[in-house]
Amino acid sequence: MRLSAQGLLRGFTLLLTFGFPELTFAGDAALSEAIYRHGVLPSGAPLVADREGGVRIEGVTGACVNCHRRSGLGMKEGRQTIPPIAGSYLFHPRAGTADDLDLPFVEGMRADRDPYTDATLARAIRDGIGADGKPFSYLMPRYQLGDTEMASLIAYLKQLSPGAVPGVTESVLHFATIITPDADPLKRQGMLDVLEKFFIDKNHYVRAESPRLRSSRRLMFKVNRHWELHVWQLTGAPETWEKQLQAKLAAEPVLAVISGVGGRTWAPVHRFCEAEALPCLFPNVDLPIVSENDFDSLYLSKGVLLEAQLIAHELTTQRDESKVHRVLQVFRAADVGEEAAGALAAALPDERFAVVNRYVPAGANTRELAAAIRKAGGADTLVLWLRPADLAALDPVPPDVASVFMSGRMGGLERSPLPAAWRTVTHMAYPVDLPERRRVRLDYPLGWFRIRQIPVVAQEVQADTYLVCGIVSDTINHMVDTFVRDYLVERVEEMLEHRVITGYYPRLALAPGQRFASKGGYVVHFAGRTGALLIADGDWLVP
Ligand code: HEC
């Protein structure tokens, strides 16, 4: 990976928020961040290291972030723990046990050794020799770094140390949820009901103020903090949202954004979270932002973009190769179908598919929409990126059309009001587990809603919100009292794979760098006399 201008900029803004005065210093810090995160030396040359057996690693493969993580707090993978290397963990005075350290508990922290000095730390990084003179295991590479490069890297490790985190006080953890003005009102209400009840439940169990026992840290008991939810309702045009969010964050610092609902675009919210390095955990959005280098925004799935990939896979593998297929895609202006249609068109090879996109004005009535489809112009394949109200009002299937694909996410999954005549020819992108397979996994949240008298008005959104609350709650428990935003994201990545309760999704996982927890879906068709039955066309597909 090259050091991108964006990477530099992020380093720069990081420092601005930390309030370093001189520009030159900020520039340097961005360069040392590039060593740590991207394996790029200030000269632009790749970082070089040796591993056991004379294996040489270079550039991003050797970047510290791969093992010690972005937070510098290390990780545990199987039986291997990778120690924290944030400054305060390297330079702390020797202590008897980890409990005696006045540092937030992290797995793999080392108490019983002399503190590093800049010189012994340089030796550790170059020659793999610890503060106490013992050599490290082969897992820690031996780096070739000049003196100024080393000084810059060590300065970076020093500033990684966890300090006070906005949104965390002695007794309260503050979270926000973000709602855009164009969010569907039912989804909004459904999500808020779940969040509010979850927070009430959570706080019900907060014990009375008790003195913090040091030895308790390792046992994963901690002072339970009260969870407080701030609802950040945005107003006005998307261009103004970032400013609004900045003002809200300044007024009510939060540790993370939990869930949320969006409409046409989530991009300004995504940009805000990345710029502020604020974890934004799994909002309910149909159109998430796909960006390789982003870190703080996690999504349950790629939404309609994943559906476009599923449909593209089906069309390219199942269609007769000897003729050119005419595909007509229909969507409303000002809805997410536009991007989905673009993604599908881009994924279909031109020589086999002639794709026409037809959009219907946002305010057009369902008659006008039906007319647009009637004029399908000889298309043999229709792709409908439409919401339930539009689907319900469809005219008969145009005569030339042999098959139809539709977005399950936009169209309401199995509850879609698609007319019966359409069901015989329609395949639906279905980016969640099949109803009978997910039933057991959904019993729990649905029971939880029932007991708390939460009306089920948008089942998928509500189940996803409940899932996200559970993920965040489990993660926070495992973090003990180490509240560092990057670490929160890293721990979510780590714990996700071990979750049994995964709601609508067959499995969830986030390898470092991945931002979409569920990666596949089905393509299904309708069956049964009334077309009420769903049958998968094939296996779960990861396009
Ligand atoms: C491939 C994984 C890997 C990468 C990449 C890596 N490390 Fe390590 N590092 C380890 C492991 C494993 C240990 C523990 C080794 C041991 O104690 O035997 C370690 C230990 C250390 C220690 C000693 C910590 C202590 O408390 O004594 C320091 C300092 C360190 N690494 C710095 C770095 C720096 C700086 C980079 C990037 C330039 C880096 N590491 C890249 C795996 C890695």
| 284-333 residue pLDDT tens | 999 999 998 899 999 999 999 999 999 999 999 987 778 899 999 999 98
Identify the pLDDT of residue 23: 36
pLDDT cut 90: percent of the chain above it: 69
Range with lowest mean pLDDT among 16-30, 35-49, 193-207:
16-30
Six token digits for residue 153? 């890297």
Identify the pLDDT of residue 170: 85
Residue closest by Cα to atom 9 of ligand 1: 140
| Alpha-carbon span 180 to 127, nearest angstrom | 52
Q: Is it the case that residue 430 has pLDDT exceeding 80? A: yes
Residue closest by Cα to atom 39 of ligand 1: 64
pLDDT in tens, 52-72: 888 999 999 999 999 999 999
15, 31 contact by CB (below 8 A): no
Pocket test for ligand 1, best of 37, 48, 61, 68 (most atoms within 8 A of CB): 68
pLDDT cut 70: percent of the chain above it: 91
Give me the chain's average pLDDT, please. 88
The average pLDDT across 354-366 equals 89
445 Cα: distance to centroid of ligand 1 (angstroms): 42
- Cβ atoms within 10 A of the Cβ of 108, count? 16
63 Cα: distance to centroid of ligand 1 (angstroms): 10
| Alpha-carbon span 465 to 283, nearest angstrom | 8
Identify the pLDDT of residue 206: 63
- What is the torsional sign of CA 533, 538, 542, 543? negative
The average pLDDT across 338-355 equals 95
| Alpha-carbon span 13 to 515, nearest angstrom | 22
Q: Is it the case that residue 219 has pLDDT exceeding 50? A: no
Residue closest by Cα to atom 27 of ligand 1: 130
The average pLDDT across 206-230 equals 61
Pocket test for ligand 1, best of 127, 140, 154 (most atoms within 8 A of CB): 140
- Which of 459, 458, 451 shows the shortest CA–CA distance to 201? 451
Residue closest by Cα to atom 43 of ligand 1: 140
Ligand 1 atom closest to the CA of 89, numbered from 1: 26
Residue closest by Cα to atom 31 of ligand 1: 140
Identify the pLDDT of residue 59: 94
Identify the pLDDT of residue 21: 35
Enumerate residues 6+ apart whose C-beta is below 8 A from 438.
Answer: 432, 503, 504, 505, 506
85 Cα: distance to centroid of ligand 1 (angstroms): 7
The average pLDDT across 457-477 equals 95
Ligand 1 atom closest to the CA of 157, numbered from 1: 35
Ligand 1 binding pocket (C-beta < 6 A) is 62, 64, 66-68, 82-83, 85, 90, 110, 121, 124-125, 130-131, 136-137, 139-141, 143, 153
Identify the pLDDT of residue 222: 52
Identify the pLDDT of residue 198: 97
Q: Is it the case that residue 11 has pLDDT exceeding 70? A: no
pLDDT in tens, 154-175: 999 999 987 788 999 988 999 9
Q: Is it the case that residue 7 has pLDDT exceeding 50? A: no
Q: Is it the case that residue 218 has pLDDT exceeding 50? A: no
pLDDT in tens, 73-109: 998 877 888 999 999 999 998 887 767 777 888 888 8
Pocket test for ligand 1, best of 51, 67, 134 (most atoms within 8 A of CB): 67
37, 7 contact by CB (below 8 A): yes
